């Protein structure tokens, strides 16, 4: 029975995965606001959009890194590319970032939310860390979305939300981060239903990636997890395909589809999968 169930799930997955109607030309001239664009998957997203001819506003915390990415985007052919350095831990930052994008681009077709705040592996659920993470990983997403939604409604645009696997399948060292991401899933799920009821043509694509391909993320969980970082260019292209085709969700790499499906249905196999990726001794010591 279990074999038949897994075979059926695999068949459904491959049928969904290969149904790809992505048209790169649809992104030529698209107006994109991308957060977390200075490194890792966010940087690769910027480069893909630039190659596809999109107009870009990039934002991240570190201005020097943003300037480098902007220069590379121009070399890759982006017709327009602007940047604004912003710290999403500040409640005022989301409003100013969206307003900057609207002023520069005249509207938005895509809002790609990719920024993230993390704490070192082994950090417990301390109130101060949790409040900071909720602002960066949850409240700023809500603020950016609320401010950009009127423009996205006018353009019949798309919201693309990038998260990691820890936002769907928490582990012992990810409690504050996972709490923020679970709240985010709930918010965007409710927003999607509300938009459907109001017949508002704005797509929401929720993306789940493996461990972020960033030096800071790798350092934070070094020795705790055996999971390899998701390759930046491939992960970024999966996100862009999902957003452009208005898919409800994207999970990359593909093997995590099964783990996410098992999250509620079969908790014991889910725990087994987690143990394969987690160095339990190191996590406990942290």
Helix (H) or strand (E) holding 94: helix 93-105
User: Strand, helix or coil at 52?
Assistant: coil
Judge contact between 75 and 87, C-beta under 8 A: no
* Preceding amide of 253 cis, omega within 30: yes
169 vs 167: CA distance, rounded Å: 6
Residue in 49, 110, 177, 252 annotated catalytic: 177
Q: Which two tokens stand for residue 272?
A: 């087994």
51 exposure class (CB count in 10 Å sphere: 0-12, 13-18, 19+): middle
Helix (H) or strand (E) holding 282: helix 280-285
Judge contact between 187 and 142, C-beta under 8 A: yes
25 vs 34: CA distance, rounded Å: 19
Is 177 annotated in the active site?
Answer: yes
76 exposure class (CB count in 10 Å sphere: 0-12, 13-18, 19+): middle
Angle, CA 102 vertex, CA 101 and CA 106 arms, to 5°: 120
Question: Which of 118, 128, 212, 200 lies closest to 164 in space, CA to CA?
Answer: 212
Q: Which amino acids are annotated catalytic?
A: 177
């Amino acid at each position: 029975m279990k074999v038949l169930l897994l075979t059926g799930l695999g068949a459904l997955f491959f049928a969904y995965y290969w149904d790809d109607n992505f048209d790169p030309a649809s992104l030529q001239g698209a107006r994109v606001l991308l957060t977390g664009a200075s490194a890792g998957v966010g940087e690769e997203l910027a480069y893909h959009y630039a190659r596809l001819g999109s107009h870009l506003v990039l934002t991240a915390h570190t201005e020097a890194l943003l300037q480098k990415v902007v220069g590379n985007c121009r070399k890759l052919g982006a017709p327009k590319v602007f940047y604004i350095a912003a710290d999403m831990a500040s409640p005022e930052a989301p409003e100013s970032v969206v307003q900057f994008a609207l002023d520069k681009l005249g509207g938005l077709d895509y809002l790609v939310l990719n920024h993230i705040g993390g704490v070192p592996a082994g950090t417990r659920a301390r109130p101060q860390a949790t409040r900071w993470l909720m602002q960066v990983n949850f409240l700023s997403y809500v603020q950016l979305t609320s401010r950009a939604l009127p423009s996205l409604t006018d353009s019949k645009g798309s919201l693309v939300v990038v998260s990691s696997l820890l936002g769907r399948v928490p582990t012992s060292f990810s409690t504050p981060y996972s709490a923020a991401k679970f709240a985010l899933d709930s918010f965007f799920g409710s927003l999607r239903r509300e938009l459907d009821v109001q017949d508002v043509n704005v797509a929401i694509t929720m993306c789940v990636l493996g461990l972020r391909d960033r030096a800071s993320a790798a350092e934070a969980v070094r020795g705790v997890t055996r999971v390899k970082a998701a390759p930046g260019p491939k992960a970024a292209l999966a996100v862009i395909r999902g957003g452009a085709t208005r898919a409800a969700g994207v999970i990359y790499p593909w093997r995590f589809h099964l783990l996410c499906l098992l999250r509620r249905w079969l908790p014991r196999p889910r725990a087994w999968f987690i143990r394969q990726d987690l160095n339990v001794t190191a996590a406990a010591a942290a």
